[in-house]
């Protein structure tokens, strides 16, 4: 981080780190199972298409935020939808959109928290009640998200380098144990399978909308496009590498019977000379970091959305964070089985990507009709 970084701002690299650490989270351990079930080896190019679609959505959201620098979505959406003669109309029309954003973020965080608990109980803390694991994670998440967005960005910047080694280890597993014949034959799916595969792979990119909140704090919003597109490229490489590894090692018939395929991939790694045994333990620690950064980014975006929408003072932030963490905990314990949990995660992920698609298209459409400008003059006050 630059020593010249103004207080209360987010640098381009921190924006890159935020997006990468938000999207790569709990889904990485489970999505190969569902994508392989729907599309088999064709999941390779379906995942690539999904990555390009979500990259386009990130491009649209970045362009939208660049038109309203130093404003979050809670500030520029009422401007776009409102009327000069009735500013309240913009706030009224934007309220359902803000509510949908809040529901999608809190829902995804709840599913991430529960999935984290399930993995920990099945792989490490076998005797520990899942409620305790979830409660601890929510409490720590509330403490972290009681800080302002620029602090969350520094946290993501610090933890990002720890996410790179597991990607290299997973690719190393392909070299050791992979069978490239498991990646064939391609182009065997029908359009129905392609559509279902696209939906499952798109759901793994949940969380991209956090830029609609955090871009209000960017030090150089004009450089955000490069940061965001670079982040999406890294995310696509990580997801494609993970799917290729799982598919080449286990094959499409075996992978659908694995609950957490990516963890099984890591267990196949053998470091020459026995330098490091039980590599999965080290990777699991890194995955825990990735999950926690996803939680703090989306929970932090939810807290900032509420503060900005209601123009609350800063000392309310910790109480809103605690309330959001409580909602996350109680929603997270609702699924009665792991299969139900995965279904809920899939639906919340689709909701997130659906909003990411519909929202910028709607707002750009209104801007086009109004000649490219919002109806209400830009506020002079900085983002809350």
- Does a structural domain hold residue 107? yes
- Does a structural domain hold residue 255? yes
Provide the 10 A C-beta neighbour count for residue 363. Answer: 24
- Does a structural domain hold residue 380? no
Give the model's pLDDT for residue 275.
Answer: 62
Look up residue 16 and give its two tokens: 């890159």
Distance CA 81, CA 59 (A): 21
Domain limits for position 308: 16-369
Give the model's pLDDT for residue 273.
Answer: 61
Give the model's pLDDT for residue 280.
Answer: 72
For the CA atoms of 202, 238, 15, 300, the dihedral, rounded to the nearest 10 degrees, stands at: 60
For residue 156, the surrounding DSSP H or E stretch is: helix 149-159
- Does a structural domain hold residue 374? no
Give the model's pLDDT for residue 43.
Answer: 93
Give the CATH number, domain containing residue 166. 1.20.1740.10
- Does a structural domain hold residue 131? yes
Distance CA 50, CA 252 (A): 20
For residue 215, how many C-alpha atoms fall within 13 Å in the half-sphere facing its CB? 30
- Does a structural domain hold residue 384? no
- Residues 16-42: b if buried by 16+ CB within 10 A, e if exposed: bbbbbbbbbbbbbbbbbbbbbbbbbbb
Give the model's pLDDT for residue 282.
Answer: 76
Give the model's pLDDT for residue 288.
Answer: 84
Angle between helices 43-66 and 73-81 (to 10 degrees): 70
- Does a structural domain hold residue 377? no
Give the model's pLDDT for residue 376.
Answer: 47
Entry pTM: 0.89
Question: φ, ψ for residue 33 (rounded to 5)?
Answer: -65, -50
- Does a structural domain hold residue 2? no
Q: How many domains does the chain have?
A: 1
Q: What is the pLDDT along the chain (384 residues), one digit of tens a residue?
A: 444 556 668 999 999 999 999 998 878 888 999 899 999 999 999 999 999 999 999 999 999 999 999 888 998 999 888 877 777 888 898 999 999 999 999 999 999 999 989 988 887 788 899 999 999 999 999 999 999 999 999 999 998 998 888 878 777 777 778 888 888 888 999 999 999 899 889 888 988 999 999 999 999 999 999 999 999 999 999 999 899 999 999 998 899 888 888 888 887 777 666 666 667 777 788 888 888 899 999 999 999 999 999 989 988 999 999 999 999 999 999 999 988 998 999 889 888 888 988 999 999 998 888 776 554 444 444 444
């Amino acid at each position: 981080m630059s020593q010249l970084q103004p207080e209360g701002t987010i640098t381009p690299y921190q924006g890159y780190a935020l997006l990468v650490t938000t999207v790569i989270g709990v889904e990485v351990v489970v999505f190969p199972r569902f994508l392989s079930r729907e599309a088999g080896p064709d999941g390779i190019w379906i995942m690539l298409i999904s990555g390009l679609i979500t990259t386009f959505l990130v491009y649209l959201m970045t362009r939208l935020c660049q038109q309203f620098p130093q404003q979050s979505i809670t500030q520029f959406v009422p401007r776009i939808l409102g009327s000069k003669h009735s500013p309240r109309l913009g706030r009224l029309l934007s309220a359902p959109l803000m509510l949908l954003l809040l529901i999608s973020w809190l829902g995804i965080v709840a599913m991430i928290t529960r999935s984290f608990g399930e993995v920990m109980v099945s792989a490490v803390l076998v005797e520990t009640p899942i409620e305790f694991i979830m409660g601890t994670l929510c409490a720590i998440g509330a403490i972290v998200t009681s800080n302002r967005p620029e602090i969350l960005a520094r946290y993501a910047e610090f933890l990002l380098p720890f996410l790179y080694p597991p990607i290299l280890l997973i690719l190393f597993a392909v070299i050791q144990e992979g069978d490239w014949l498991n990646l064939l034959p391609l182009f065997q799916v029908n359009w129905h399978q392609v559509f279902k595969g696209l939906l499952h792979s798109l759901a793994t990119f949940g969380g991209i909308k956090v830029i609609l909140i955090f871009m209000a704090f960017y030090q150089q919003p004009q450089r955000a496009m490069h940061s965001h597109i670079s982040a999406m490229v890294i995310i696509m490489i990580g997801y494609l590498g993970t799917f290729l590894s799982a598919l080449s090692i286990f094959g499409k018939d075996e992978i659908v019977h694995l609950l957490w395929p990516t963890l099984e991939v890591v267990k196949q790694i053998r470091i020459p000379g026995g330098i490091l045994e039980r590599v999965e333990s080290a990777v699991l620690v890194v995955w825990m970091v990735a999950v926690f950064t996803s939680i703090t980014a989306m929970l932090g975006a939810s807290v900032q959305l509420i503060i900005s929408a209601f123009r609350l003072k800063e000392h309310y932030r910790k109480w809103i964070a605690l309330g959001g963490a409580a909602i996350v905990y109680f929603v997270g314990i609702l699924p009665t089985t792991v299969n139900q949990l995965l279904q809920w995660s899939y639906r919340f992920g689709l909701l997130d990507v659906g909003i990411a698609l519909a929202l910028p298209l709607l707002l750009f459409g209104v801007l086009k009709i109004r000649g490219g400008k919002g109806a209400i003059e830009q506020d002079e006050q900085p983002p809350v």
